Amino acid sequence: MTTNKTKRTLRLTPENLLKISGQKNAHQLSLASKISAYTGYKYVRDPNKVKSVDLEVLFAILSNGAELSDKQILDLKIGDLFEVIEVDD
């Protein structure tokens, strides 16, 4: 456990979402994942605006967009999808 008083949070790592999915951009990811273009763009192009992750959307990205099996999804590490960042109070 950290004693650092700086506020930190998790943020999606767009480059990892694209790498895992094999898609080249947010538009392709949205189409392959069958999610809204707005959500795909937000997750990939502006992850700082993502304050909460919809688990159904994340599952769609991983299962439809990346074509991962349930086991492959469960074998992912949290660091494969997120990074820890400092945020302003």
Residue 70 lies in a domain: yes
Q: Domain total for the chain?
A: 1
Residue 66 lies in a domain: yes
pLDDT band at 1 (very low <50, low <70, confident <90, very high): low
Residue 71 lies in a domain: yes
pLDDT band at 89 (very low <50, low <70, confident <90, very high): low
Is residue 89 a contact partner of residue 10, using CB atoms and an 8 Å limit?
no
The pTM for the full model equals 0.85
Give the pLDDT confidence of 27-74 residue by residue, as tens digits. 999 999 999 999 999 999 999 889 999 999 999 999 999 999 999 999
- The DSSP line for 4-62 is --S-EEEEE-HHHHHHHHT-SSHHHHHHHHT--HHHHHHHHH-GGG--S--HHHHHHII
Residue 81 lies in a domain: yes
Domain residue limits at 75:
8-86
Residue 3 lies in a domain: no
> What was the pLDDT predicted at 88?
80
Residue 44 lies in a domain: yes
